A and B are shown apart, each in its own frame.
Chain A
Amino acid sequence: MQQQLTNLSDKELISRARRQNDREAEGVLMERYSHLLVAVTMPQLHKDSSLDPSTIFPVLLQRLSASLKTQTIYKASEWILHIQKGFLGKPEKNTPFYPSREVRDLLHIENLVDKATNNVIDSNELMLRLEQAMDRLHDEEKTLLKQFYLENKSFADLSAITGQPRDKVRAQLKSAKGKLAKLFMNQGYVK
């Protein structure tokens, strides 16, 4: 059972944990993100020596488990980071999670691309629309996206070209992709 569940997607595991109250699916999801949770929490553990990992992580897991059943989750990574930050920032307050509009748009386009892979007509239409959306971007953003996604340049290469640190390059890439997604989504209204 465990083996079968590990092959399932996050979405499927979340729906199983919710609808069928499947604790095993929930466990598989937590286990999948446990190393990221630990890695993200490590700086706080170093900063505040009073924090005990043996008490913090179980409580964090409980909070995640509670929010899993009630809140809308588009991307598990976004949700886990939100809960972790909320817990460590204000442990007494249970901050609810609302998925961002950008993430929802991104997920929508990702699903469209996934579906279009087997359909030539759909994929051609999608490509055309994406190119149209790309044309509306600023030149800097367009070149950055083209260099990163179409020319397969790494963060290090881009930072060397632009002369900016990796964090900034990554942030620029993220914002450019977000804009592209927004433009793509709003194309229907522009037409």
Chain B
Amino acid sequence: MLSNNKHKNDKVLKIFSSIRCLNKDQFPRYMDGRLTDIEKHLVEQHLADCDLCYNALLALEKEDDQDKYQDLTYKLQRFVRNSIQPVSHVQKVAQYTRKEKAKEHLLLYFWLLAFIGLGIGSVYVLEGHIRNQPPPVRYVAAVTPSREPSAAETSTPAPAATPPVVTPVNNTQPEVSTPNPIQLPDAPLATTTATTTTPGSVPVDSAAIKKAAALKAQQRKATADSLARIRRAQMLQNQQDSVRREAEKAKEAEKNKKEKEEEEKKSQKQENTTETNPEPAKKETPPPAALNSDEYLYKAAMGFQQQGNYGEAIDRYRKLESVSSGRYQEMARYQIAVCYRSKGQMGKARRMFREVVRMDGAMKNSAQLALDAM
């Protein structure tokens, strides 16, 4: 019962099954009754719905001349093929060319955009490069400070000329170094004038530009060399000064000693001759000698400190500290602390400053300040 029902149900759906229109061969076969039962039923199902096919069937059934129908159908099909195929071929070609053109256009736009982007980028980079490059005015600026040290060089020999103790080697070096910075400013000026005159007379030439660039490079090198030389000369000068001072102090000390000896001799003579007030004379002379030696040691150490030779300076100060007492000891200790501080040994520096503070002398306040600042 159930299966029977299902069978019936299935067939209900058949009412609305879609069937294609009859083809060219099906018509004569249907009319002649050459179709199978199933095929015939399907054709009739379609004929029940489709007016076109049913009208065609009626017309064909009435038609006596079947050959005419076949001929006309063949002709129409050929016409359709002939009229549409070339058109479709032309269409395809047109579509292809359109696509190709679109591709070309896209490529063109892409390259255009890429070039524009590159151009903008390169301009930006160039601008940045130019901005970062030192302007040509700086040549003058670079030369002018070189003059200052040269002036300093020229001025320094004046005090150096007064003291007679100057080694000949030291004297020659600044003389050799001084002419260079003076000559150098002239060279870039000359080249700048040359470069300024060339564009007017000769059109822009790559060789000329290269030459100018080479000249500029040379000038730069020369200025850099001169600056280095000046620095070296300054350092040497400082060393000379310190050595000179030391020598002066040594001489002074010797003179003092000689004077003392002479005085002692004189006093001994005087004692010998007249034994009156020997003590005050003795008391007066030794402190200045001690002071002088302390001062000399202190200054020598100071010189090393100024040169940046902190180790040597500290050694000197230590000697001074061990030898002298009072003010110079305190100062030496303070300077040792300063040296340690500038060397970066903060612990030692702090300790020394504390010692200075503990000594409770004239440097107490400054030591305390330095301690606070550390």
Contacts and interface: CB of A to CB of B under 8 A. Distances in A.
Interface of A: 21-24, 26-27, 30-40, 42-43, 53-54, 57-58, 61, 75-78, 80-81, 106-107, 109-114, 116-117, 123-124, 126-127, 130-131, 134, 145, 148-150, 152, 154-155, 170, 173-174, 177, 180-181
Contacts of B22: 36
B48 A177 contact: yes
B16 A154 contact: no
Q: Which 4 A-B pairs have the closest CB atoms?
A: A27-B84, A39-B56, A77-B52, A110-B18
A54 B41 CA distance: 36
B24 to A, nearest CB: 4
B13 A78 contact: no
A22 B84 CA distance: 10
Contact of A43 (B49, B59, B83): B59
Nearest to A173: B48
Contact of A34 (B12, B45, B60, B76): B76
A113 B17 contact: yes
B109 interface: no
Contacts of B57: 39
Given A27-B88, A36-B52, A43-B59, 8 more contacts: A31-B81, A42-B60, A80-B52, A81-B55, A110-B18, A126-B13, A130-B16, A150-B14
Bin chain B's interface residue count: 35 or more
B8 A150 contact: yes
Contacts of B69: 35, 38-39, 42
Interface in B176-201: none
Contact of A106 (B16, B53, B88): B16
B108 interface: no
A22 B62 CA distance: 37
A117 B17 CA distance: 10
A189 to B, nearest CB: 19
Nearest to A124: B9
21 contacts: A30-B84, A35-B56, A36-B21, A39-B69, A43-B59, A43-B62, A53-B75, A77-B51, A106-B49, A110-B18, A112-B16, A113-B17, A117-B13, A127-B12, A127-B13, A130-B15, A148-B44, A150-B11, A150-B14, A152-B37, A177-B15
B63 interface: yes
B79 interface: yes
